[in-house]
Amino acid sequence: MPHETNSQKTSIITITGIVQGVGFRPFVWQLANDMGLKGEVLNNGQGVQIILNLKGDEQGKFLNRLETETPPLAKITKIEITEVPQFQKFQSFKIRPSEQGEMKTQISPDAATCKACIKEITSPKEHRYNYPFTNCTHCGPRLSIIYEAPYDRATTSMAPFKMCDKCQKEYEDPSDRRFHAQPIACSTCGPELELKWLCQTTQPSILINQGEPIKVAADLIKAGFIGAIKGLGGFHLSCLASEGKLVEELRRRKKRSNKAFALMCRDCAQAKNYGFFSTEALTLLESPAAPIVLVEKTCQKLPKAIAPGLHEVGIMLPNTPLHHLLLAEFDEPLIMTSGNLSNMPQLITNEEAQTELANVADFALLNNRLITNRVDDSVVRISHGKSSMLRRARGYAPAPIPLPKGFEKAPDIIACGAELKSTFCMVKNQEAILSQHLGDLEHVPTFEAYQNTIALYTDLFEFQPELRVIDEHPEYLSSKLGMEQSVKDQIPLVKVQHHHAHMASALGESGHGFNEENCLGLILDGIGFGEDQTIWGGELLYGNYAEFKRIGAFEEVALLGGSAAVKEPWRNLFAHCEGAIGWEALQNKFSDLPVFKYMSEKPLPTLRTMMKKGINSPLSSSCGRLFDAVAASLEISIDQVTYEGEAAMQLEALVSKDLYLELPEDELYKAEYKCEGQLIKVNFAPLWKELFKDLSKKKSKNFIATKFHKSLTYILLDWIKLSVHTLNLGKKPSGSDSNLKIALSGGCFQNNTLLENLALLLEKNGFKPIIQTELPANDGGISYGQALIAAAKHLTAKQT
Ligand SMILES: [Zn+2]
Ligand SMILES: [Zn+2]
C-alpha cells in the first residue's frame, strides 16, 4: 500500500432520511469542494452515499457542516460511517450517476418559494425576473405534480415542457441549486399564465388580454372583482379583504355562510398588523410548508364577515412565485379561500374552475401546468408552546412520521381513517405515511379523490399491505371500502374503536413506546361508534396500543333526530336539560329568559316522546354536543351550525382571558360522578342548574362562556383523579403517583382554551398530558392511530 494511507483514509458515509430530490448531492458537492475534499456522492437504495478521502480532523468538520448546513427540505435521520480497508485515491469530487435500487419511495411535500428564488423573481436583471413558476431543489411543487413513481420530470405534469438550453444546463450542473430540480422552468420553456373573464353579466373596463396577467389580475381585484386563482395544490378564490361587502358577496356566491376565510399577507410585517404572532407562530408562518397560521385577531378594522363570531384569524404568506408577485401589487392582505362550492373539494383543473366557478368568480387566473393531486392549505396554530396541527396537507404530506419504539417489526399496514376530515395511513419500513387531508367522504368527489389518492400512494410508495384497518363504524364509507378491498386482496381486516385510535394517535406521535406502561386517554370528541353500540364522545380510556378499557364516560344524552342533532344545537340544549333536570322544571323557574321563548316554538312534546320511546334518538356521551348545548343556552348558533364545531368555536371566542384567571375555583360549575361498576360517569345536572341561575342573574355571555370553559377543566381533573384513585391506576410500588401519562385527543381539543388550560392543570397535579402536535387531534389524525393499534395487536399475537 502507498504510504499515503498513513495520513489518509477512505470513508463511506451513508445518509438516510429525506435526502433525495431535495438538492442534497449538489450540497455535498459544494461542501466537499469548499473543504478541498476528494471523492464522490451518489443516490442509492438507502439514501445518499458519500465516499471521501479524509485525513486528520476533516471527518469531524465535514460531518459537522453536513448536519448544520443541510438544505432546507432535507431531513437527515441517520448517518453511518464505515472505513474502507483499502485506500482508494480520488483526484476530484464528483457526483456519480445513481446506482440501481435508487429509492423510488421519496416524495417530498410541496414547498414554498425559497429566499434565493424570491430574490431572482424580484431582480430585474435576472433571467427569471417576474416568472411565476420559478423553483429550485429547495422549493416548488412536488406532491401536487406527480403522477407516479419514481419522482422524475417525465412522471410529473412538467413532462410536456421541454427544458430550454439554459434550464437544461442548470439541471445538469452539480454546482447549481437547480441540479436535478425536476420542475425547473423559466419563461422560455415553462408553464404560462392565462387570464380569462368568467362573468356573463358584467364586463370589466380593464382590458384583460393586454399586459402582464398578474398585473391585470391585481387591477381587477383592486377594482372589486373576485378572482379564481390557480395555486400550488388547487384553486383559491381571492378578493380584497378590507371590503366587508365584497367578502359578504363572496360568501353569498360560494354558498358558505360562516366558516372562516383565510388571509394571505405579503410578508411577516404585514401579517403582524392583523394578528398576534408569537416567535413560534412567526417561525411557522415563514416555514417552507407556509401553512395558514391561526392567531388572535388584532386588527379591529377587518370586516366581521372574514371569520364571523371567531376571535382568531387564519393568515398565510405567499407560497408560490405567482402569489409573491400578485401580493406585491397590494398594500393590504387578500382573501385566499379554497376555490370550491360549499362542502365540495377544492377544484384543480382549468376546465372545472371555468365551469363550476363561473357564478362565483368574475375572472380566473389559469396556467397550463396540471395539478395532479389536490393538496389543500394546511392549518396550524401554536398551542401550549408547540405547533398544533388542525389540517395537515400542503407542505406536510406525505412526509413520513416515525413509528414509536417497539414497532420495528410492524407489518405493512393500510389504515383507512374515519369519515370526516378523512386521511389514510400506510405503514412501511418503520415509518407511517399519512395522506394529505382529503375531506368529508360523504361528498362524492371527495370519496373519489380518497380512492384515487390511495391508488397513487400505493404506487408511489410501492406498497403492498399485509393488513387493512378500518373504524368500527359500519356505515363509514372508508369502512365499507376497506371491507370490500380486504375481501378482494384476501388480507386480514382489523376493526379499531374510534376513540382508541384517537388515543393511539396522540401516544404514537409523542414517541410512547410499544412496551411502555399503560396510560390514560381523555378523548373529547364529536361522535364515534362505541364498543357497546352507543355513540361515544366524552371518554376516559385506560390502556395502551394493543388494548384499552373504558373507565369513564359522560352520562349519555339523546341525540334527538340522530344526525339532525349534530346540525341543530337547540336539540342538544333540550336533550341535556330534559335528561339532567327536566325542561319543564327549568322553564317554570326561568321562564323570563329569552332562550325559553325561542325554544317554545320548537316541537318539544314530540321530542320528549321520541326521547322516552327511544325513537330516532340514539344515546351519546359526546363532548361536542355538550358544547353545542351550552352555546345554545347563550343563543349562540342555537338554530343551526353551518360547519362542524361552529357553536363550540363561537363559544370559545367569548372567553375572556382576564376573567378566566380571576374566577375563583370554588365558584365554578360542578358535576356529579357516578360509579357504574368499573365505569365512572360524569353527570352535568349541577352545571346546568347553576348556569341557568347565572343566566337569570343577567350574567354576560362572556362571563358564562368563560366560567363554563374553566369549570370543565376542573370537572375533568376531578374525574381523572377520582378514576385513578378508585381503580388504583398508575401507582408505583412506593404508592406515590407515577406521573401518569394522559393522551388528550379528539376534535374538542382543537379548542385552544380547553387544551392549554387543561394541560397546565394536569401538569400542576402531577400528570403528564400528551398533546397532539404534528397530527390533528380531530379525525384527521385517526388513521395513524388505527395503524399503530393494528400493528400492536399483530405484534402481541406473535409474541404469545
Ligand atoms: Zn428555490
Ligand atoms: Zn427554461
Ligand 1 centroid – CA 130 distance (Å): 14
List pLDDT tens digits, range 278-304. Answer: 999 999 999 999 999 999 999 888 999
pLDDT of 101 strictly over 80: no
Return the pLDDT at 102: 57
Ligand of minimum distance to the alpha carbon of 135:
1
Distance CA 371, CA 157 (A): 7
Please tell me the distance between residue 415's alpha carbon and the centre of ligand 1 in angstroms: 35
CB within 8 Å of 389: residues ≥ 6 apart: 378, 379, 380, 396, 772, 773, 774, 775, 776, 780, 781
pLDDT in tens, 248-282: 999 999 999 999 999 999 999 999 999 999 999 99
Stronger pLDDT, 400 or 152, i.e. the higher one: 400
Longest dimension (CA), the chain: 102
- DSSP helix/strand/coil, 411: coil
- Please report, as a single letter, which amino acid is at residue 603: P
Name the 3-class secondary structure at 535. strand
pLDDT at 98: 72
Select from 131, 132, 157, 134 the least CA-distant residue to 144.
157
Rounded to two decimals, what is the model's pTM?
A: 0.94
Three-state SS string across 463-485, please?
CCCCEEEEECCCCCHHHHHHHHH
How far is ligand 2, taken at its centre, from the CA of residue 264, in Å?
A: 29
Q: What is the whole-number distance in angstroms between the Cα of residue 447 and the centre of ligand 1?
A: 34
pLDDT score recorded for residue 161: 98
Q: Would you say residue 152 has pLDDT above 90? A: no
Q: If pLDDT is split at 50, 70 and 90, which confidence band does 26 have? A: confident
- Mean pLDDT, rounded, for 98-117: 80
Stretch 734-762: mean pLDDT, rounded?
89
Burial of residue 557 (CB within 10 Å: 0-12, 13-18, 19+) is buried
Nearest bound ligand to the CA of residue 188? 2
Query: How far away, in angstroms, is 113 Cα from ligand 1 center?
Result: 5
Q: Which ligand approaches the C-alpha of residue 127 most closely?
A: 2
pLDDT of residue 4: 46
Ligand 2 center–CA 127 separation, angstroms: 9
Pick the range with the lowest mean pLDDT from 13-22, 109-118, 492-501, 516-525.
13-22
Q: Which three cell numbers stand for residue 579?
A: 335528561
* CA 40 / ligand 2 centre spacing (Å): 28
Q: Give the Cα separation of 748 and 611 in Å (integer).
A: 25
Q: How far apart are CA 312 and CA 92, in angstroms?
A: 56
pLDDT at position 523 is 98
Q: Could you tell me the distance, in angstroms and rounded to a whole number, from the CA of residue 129 to the centre of ligand 2?
A: 13
Distance between Cα 119 and ligand 1 center (Å): 9
Tell me the average pLDDT across 692-708. Answer: 97
Q: Which ligand is nearest to the CA of 184?
A: 2
pLDDT tens across 378-403, in order? 999 999 999 999 999 999 999 999 99
CA distance linking residue 205 with residue 189, whole number of Å: 32
Mean pLDDT of 652-668: 97
- Report how far residue 690's alpha carbon sits from residue 669's, in angstroms, rounded to the nearest whole number: 7
pLDDT computed for residue 690 by the predictor:
97
pLDDT attached to residue 103: 58
Residues sharing a CB contact under 8 Å with residue 516, sequence separation 6 or more, in sequence order: 406, 544
Instruction: State residue 6's pLDDT score.
Output: 54
Half-sphere exposure of 444 (CA within 13 A, CB side): 0
Please report which confidence band the pLDDT of residue 77 belongs to, taking 50, 70 and 90 as the band edges: confident
Beta bridge partners of 227: 238, 363
Higher-confidence position of 23 and 599: 599
CB 578 within 8 A of CB 570: no
Q: Give Cα separations from 759 to 382, 520, 719, 763, 779 (angstroms).
A: 14, 14, 15, 6, 20
Q: Is the pLDDT of residue 104 over 70?
A: no
H or E element: which one contains 8? strand 8-18
pLDDT at 738 exceeding the cut of 80: no
CA 599 to chain CA mean position, Å: 37
**Cα 286 to chain center, whole Å?**
17
Model confidence at 43, pLDDT cuts 50, 70, 90, reads confident
Residue 183 CA to ligand 1 centre (angstroms): 11
Give 190 Cα–ligand 1 centroid separation in angstroms.
15
Question: What band does 206 get if pLDDT is binned at 50, 70 and 90?
Answer: confident
Residue 240 Cα to ligand 1 midpoint, Å, equals 28
The neighbouring-strand residues paired with 401 are 432
Q: Which ligand is nearest to the CA of 177?
A: 1
Q: How far is the CA of 345 from the centre of ligand 2 (A)?
A: 33
pLDDT in the model for residue 105: 56
Ligand 1 centroid – CA 268 distance (Å) = 19
Ligand 2 centroid – CA 751 distance (Å):
48
> Which cell numbers in the block locate residue 327?
401580493
- Ligand number nearest CA of 162 is 2
- Give the separation between CA 650 and CA 47, rounded to whole angstroms: 48
Q: Tell me the three state secondary structure of residue 362.
A: coil
Give dist(CA 341, CA 731) in Å, integer. Answer: 54
Over residues 774-783, the mean pLDDT reads 97
Tens-digit pLDDT profile for residues 510-560 = 999 999 999 999 999 998 999 988 999 999 999 999 999 999 999 999 999
pLDDT value, residue 799: 81
Q: Give the per-residue pLDDT at 732.
A: 58
Distance CA 388, CA 385 (A): 9
φ and ψ at 356, to 5 degrees?
Answer: -75, -25
Q: What percentage of the chain has pLDDT greater than the value 70?
A: 97
Given a cut of 50, whether residue 2 has pLDDT beyond it is no
pLDDT, averaged across the chain: 93
Give ion ligand 1 contacts, CB < 5 A: 114, 117, 136, 138-139
Compute the distance from residue 177 Cα to the ligand 1 centre, in Å: 8
Q: Which ligand has an atom closest to residue 321 CA?
A: 1
